[in-house]
Chains A and B, each alone.
Chain A
């Protein structure tokens, strides 16, 4: 064989090998050189000026409200205000939470997907026109858990496009399936992160029953809520396995009793293996409202956010009320329930092997979502000249430094206790430690202090990691204070910066595109690894190449 022929063959082999090698296996410098020389296939010049045109993989920014959940309506005699955000809470469920699931009709319960004993409201003990005996039933659900049959998470819940960390949540006792329907793997809308805000009235006789529908033991501890250490029958009531009672095992239930004497924004959480269970999502707001006549409070606020039926006391002082639940998530902790289907191994992974002192946080959520999904259901919608109440809790492991663009907010309460008026401070960064609650008063009076006027004003954690999703931005707990004039009819904000198309594509948070809006700077990274066929061809080429080299070496030897 002639020398030229051999070199030609070698070249062909090398080119074929190079073409088959996935892009991401090349060094980045080589890819930059390639993009500089030949241009990158996905490159769009000045994408920000091009109107957002969703492609196949892009999600709709704001799904249409087919069921009419956003409009103001009266259900079971309960008047519900319109919900300005794109995704509204199920109004049937809200009505059932206000009246009690024992006081609404069959169809309301069916539409709410609630059990008839989820929220049982009993007698009016003080004769002021509202029920004071409240029996709440909570179940525990696993979202994005593992399955022996599927390679994808089941009872799915996305915090951002394509991001499905394994979490656990408390939820009001439901009826029927956990998924949307049999064909769907998606969790039904009532099952979501965060665990819902619970509201009762000061002086109510409250029973909270934990029905443990999960495969791990759990309890509930009522943090900051006035409750006795022991119940009247001598059983533990503090929810702490090491001091008050044993955990509630799978398939079992236990009731907690309390009659809170003080008002305020409090907290509840599971107290089993707290370094993991709280951060898996088993924590939520517990709010005790002032005792007022005819005060039917909305016992649950699913997913937190806008309070559709505020209490009498809040309505007297405020135009709107929002619950804000901040939570950070460790991806590796969430993966423990996706890796295996064996509860014994999950227990081993969480109780023995998981080391929180070595953990790092990947996801930052507000009301169970990260940007851009926060814009669907957790915008703070307001109008000029209003006073808005924000009840904020930090359910995560790191502090949160909430910064409000265009506004300075007044901190009225810390941990549910009101500050005397002269001591109330006005800030544009509010630091909230883990498990801490603050009540904020957001005034939209355009005086250059409380508000700088109308707009779409961002509101976010100013510890910069908090505005990322897996270290990639924009993501995290970013939301906005949006004035009605800047809100489109469908509840999506009017924006004047970059198009949001890229952020609504799962590939974006897989780092397939960069954050500049100009997208693919470098030749694309493929979604999954190379196929088996491609690997086999690579192996064959590598074999031929090695064979060629070997034959040369052998030939060289035979000549000697």
Chain B
């Protein structure tokens, strides 16, 4: 059995090495350790004259980072990063778990990034490195893992460029309000009942006054 396992491991890593050279889309690489999509070291967004800042961030993903935040199960070592406009950002993404995780950023210009996305996926226990350049506008970008329920259960973060555009919802440690109220005690239901009672009383008083003429 050990031999079999060893042969499988060797088999897959040889395969991985072969596949690494098959870049099908610009800025894309994929093998058994994961993938990077939208890798961009030097193409400037239209609104940037030059690269004004260099950042290198080290992201670690895993279930252990869920511990500080109630009602999460997955997480990143940090859930917020801040950079200057027109910066180049190198992301070293390390996955501590035994299953896949992703560091996926949305909302980049679509003329530079396929579907406006910079996307890294690391297989369990593996790392990926990718580079991208952000445009000049103040914006808050969503970063998440798109494996079912990983974002919902804590793998959600934000990249603030410049002054940003406000915090996103449900970012652990930033804006997390993970319990969605529902049913009878939801804010909207309580609000509706309260205002209905108020209107009823108002109309009652008005009715009495009006009809007593």
The answer to whether A and B belong to the same complex is yes
**Which residues of A pack against B, CB within 8 Å?**
1, 6, 102, 105-107, 109-110, 115-117, 120, 122-123, 133, 135, 139, 141-143, 145-149, 151, 154-155, 173, 175-179, 181-182, 187, 191, 205, 207, 211-215, 231-232, 249-253, 257, 339-345, 532, 535-536, 539-548, 550-552, 554-555
CA distance A555 to B180 in the complex (A): 50
List of A residues within 8 angstroms of B205 by Cβ: 547
List of A residues within 8 angstroms of B24 by Cβ: 106-107, 110
From B99, B177, B208, B211, contact of A213 by CB (8 A): B99
Q: Is B184 an interface residue (CB 8 A)?
A: no
Q: Is B149 an interface residue (CB 8 A)?
A: yes
CA distance A129 to B62 in the complex (A): 42
A182 near B124 (CB under 8 angstroms)?
no
CA distance A231 to B5 in the complex (A): 13
List of B residues within 8 angstroms of A344 by Cβ: 71
List of A residues within 8 angstroms of B74 by Cβ: 215, 250-251
List of B residues within 8 angstroms of A231 by Cβ: 1
- Range of interface residues on B (Cβ < 8 Å): 35 or more
* 5 cross-chain CB contacts under 8 A: A105-B22, A122-B11, A141-B148, A147-B180, A251-B63
Give the one of A148, A231, A250, A345 with max B CB within 10 A.
Answer: A148
A257 near B12 (CB under 8 angstroms)?
no
CA distance A377 to B192 in the complex (A): 45
A341 near B121 (CB under 8 angstroms)?
no
List of A residues within 8 angstroms of B199 by Cβ: 536, 539-540, 543
Q: Is B146 an interface residue (CB 8 A)?
A: yes
The 10 A-B residue pairs with the shortest CB-CB distance in the complex, in nearest-first order = A547-B207, A543-B203, A342-B71, A251-B97, A215-B73, A551-B211, A251-B63, A177-B146, A178-B148, A253-B98
From B31, B106, B147, B153, contact of A341 by CB (8 A): B153
A341 near B178 (CB under 8 angstroms)?
yes
B73 near A343 (CB under 8 angstroms)?
yes
From A155, A175, A542, contact of B203 by CB (8 A): A542
Q: Is B196 an interface residue (CB 8 A)?
A: yes
CA distance A191 to B202 in the complex (A): 54
CA distance A146 to B211 in the complex (A): 52
Q: For A132, give the chain B residue with the smallest CB separation.
A: B4
Q: Is B91 an interface residue (CB 8 A)?
A: no
B98 near A148 (CB under 8 angstroms)?
no
Distance of B140 from chain A, by nearest CB (Å)? 15
A542 with B200, Cβ < 8 A, contacts A116-B12, A122-B4 known: yes
B71 near A543 (CB under 8 angstroms)?
no
Q: For B23, give the chain A residue with the smallest CB separation.
A: A106
A145 with B148, Cβ < 8 A, contacts A535-B192, A550-B207 known: yes
List of B residues within 8 angstroms of A1 by Cβ: 211, 213
Q: Is B152 an interface residue (CB 8 A)?
A: yes
Q: Is B206 an interface residue (CB 8 A)?
A: yes
* Contacts A177-B147, A249-B63, A551-B207 supplied; 20 other A-B pairs, CB < 8 Å: A106-B22, A107-B24, A115-B32, A120-B11, A122-B11, A133-B4, A133-B7, A148-B170, A148-B177, A149-B169, A176-B121, A181-B115, A211-B124, A232-B1, A251-B63, A252-B97, A252-B98, A543-B201, A554-B208, A555-B212
B1 near A257 (CB under 8 angstroms)?
yes
Q: Is B117 an interface residue (CB 8 A)?
A: yes
CA distance A182 to B71 in the complex (A): 24
Q: Is B210 an interface residue (CB 8 A)?
A: yes
**Which residues of B pack against A, CB within 8 Å?**
1, 4-5, 7-8, 11-12, 15-16, 19, 22, 24, 30-32, 35, 62-63, 70-74, 97-100, 102, 104, 106, 115-117, 119, 121, 123-124, 146-150, 152-153, 169-170, 177-180, 182, 192, 195-197, 199-213
CA distance A187 to B116 in the complex (A): 20
List of B residues within 8 angstroms of A532 by Cβ: 192, 195
From A141, A249, A546, contact of B204 by CB (8 A): A546
B30 near A182 (CB under 8 angstroms)?
no
A154 near B11 (CB under 8 angstroms)?
no
From A123, A536, A539, contact of B7 by CB (8 A): A123
Distance of B201 from chain A, by nearest CB (Å)? 7
Give the one of A116, A191, A545 with max B CB within 10 A.
Answer: A116
CA distance A148 to B181 in the complex (A): 9
Distance of B74 from chain A, by nearest CB (Å)? 7
List of B residues within 8 angstroms of A252 by Cβ: 97-99
CA distance A1 to B213 in the complex (A): 7
B200 near A543 (CB under 8 angstroms)?
yes
From A141, A341, A545, A550, contact of B180 by CB (8 A): A341
CA distance A212 to B99 in the complex (A): 7
A207 near B5 (CB under 8 angstroms)?
yes
List of B residues within 8 angstroms of A215 by Cβ: 73-74, 149, 153
Distance of A241 from chain B, by nearest CB (Å)? 18
CA distance A420 to B205 in the complex (A): 87
Distance of A508 from chain B, by nearest CB (Å)? 26
CA distance A555 to B211 in the complex (A): 10
B179 near A342 (CB under 8 angstroms)?
yes
From A154, A179, A250, A535, contact of B63 by CB (8 A): A250
A148 with B213, Cβ < 8 A, contacts A251-B97, A253-B124, A539-B199 known: no
CA distance A544 to B146 in the complex (A): 54
CA distance A280 to B16 in the complex (A): 35
List of B residues within 8 angstroms of A547 by Cβ: 203-211
B212 near A251 (CB under 8 angstroms)?
no
B182 near A548 (CB under 8 angstroms)?
no
List of A residues within 8 angstroms of B104 by Cβ: 177
List of A residues within 8 angstroms of B212 by Cβ: 551, 554-555
A179 near B200 (CB under 8 angstroms)?
no
List of B residues within 8 angstroms of A102 by Cβ: 11-12, 15
CA distance A213 to B179 in the complex (A): 22
Distance of A31 from chain B, by nearest CB (Å)? 25
A143 with B148, Cβ < 8 A, contacts A251-B99, A341-B153, A342-B71 known: yes
CA distance A117 to B182 in the complex (A): 41
Q: For A149, give the chain B residue with the smallest CB separation.
A: B169
Q: For A558, give the chain B residue with the smallest CB separation.
A: B212
A122 with B152, Cβ < 8 A, contacts A545-B207, A554-B208 known: no
B71 near A343 (CB under 8 angstroms)?
yes
List of B residues within 8 angstroms of A551 by Cβ: 207-208, 210-212
List of A residues within 8 angstroms of B31 by Cβ: 116
Distance of A6 from chain B, by nearest CB (Å)? 7
A146 near B180 (CB under 8 angstroms)?
yes
List of B residues within 8 angstroms of A552 by Cβ: 211
Q: For B30, give the chain A residue with the smallest CB separation.
A: A106
Distance of B169 from chain A, by nearest CB (Å)? 5
List of A residues within 8 angstroms of B32 by Cβ: 115-117
B8 near A122 (CB under 8 angstroms)?
yes
